[in-house]
Amino acid sequence: MKNKITIGSRESKLAVLQSEMVRDYINEHNPDLTVEILTMKTTGDKILDRTLDKVGGKGLFVKELDHALLEGRSELSVHSLKDMPMEVPAELPLLAFSRREDPRDVLVLPEGVTELDRSKPLGCSSLRRTLQLRELYPDMEVASVRGNLQTRLRKLDEGQYSALILAAAGLKRLGLESRISRYFTEEEMLPAAGQGILAVQGRTNVDYAFLDGYCDADAWSAGSAERAFVRFLDGGCSSPVAAFGVVEGEELFLRGLYYNEETGNWFKDSIRGKREDAEALGIALAKQMKESDRTKTDKGEAE
């Protein structure tokens, strides 16, 4: 095993903090290793004038990190699992998932404000959130907001938006929990697949014994089921498809959101089964929801 481990990370404050969390685990359990973080600006960080679905999805946030891994400039990459493409190259496997931070989406108001200004739009970066916001705030406009967390909060506080919808996990990791005005329940706003989980990615033929014990079994089961659901529906990270799994003893309860782009129909459903069958459960729920949509569409056409 090498004496020095390099972790590839996006250069945003949150991404670096998340990489530092993995670095600290490795240091604590492997005092003989030197661990450093290699930061880089990804294509997704550079293109901020268009929504992700218009420029190729969130795979743009991992491309440069993947190259660093393949070229041997890093041994690990740390990602927010929700930002990972559903298809991962065989030579760059996912090695471990962190324990899950709060998976919920939250409402953040401008600094010092206590009520929504309904004359300004809600700032939101995903179609998944936009769909669900139309039910929660049918009288409000939803507008795209891009940039890292600090950039989005600055735009909010400057008065460009009435509020932002963000992931609780990132705010909590950065010590910004006090900015949260409202937590949405999973029933109100189904989270993105993998939300709140950190993914550690490596490459084949490398000894990763220094990560022993890092992977959280519950997060691995839930995250695997969620990703299998989205992958089966061919939903990229920017697609309005969502899944959220909860491990309950030896069982896994999985909720999903499915959107049919052709008809505009969308709905939620759930499934329960053995946690050891996590990926199969995700696929089963996806099939169940696709069939329900087909039945609904056929019935509508018949009428």
- The catalytic site residues sit at 83
Q: In what order do the strands lie in the sheet with 266-274?
A: 242-248, 251-259, 266-274
Tell me how far the alpha carbon of residue 206 is from its chain's centroid. Answer: 26
Rounded distance, CA 163 to CA 175, Å?
Answer: 19
With a CB cutoff of 8 Å and minimum separation 6, the contacts of 73 are 6, 8, 38
β-pairing, 142-144 vs 122-124, is: parallel
CB 96 within 8 A of CB 75: no
Rounded distance, CA 141 to CA 161, Å?
Answer: 10
Rounded distance, CA 149 to CA 91, Å?
Answer: 31
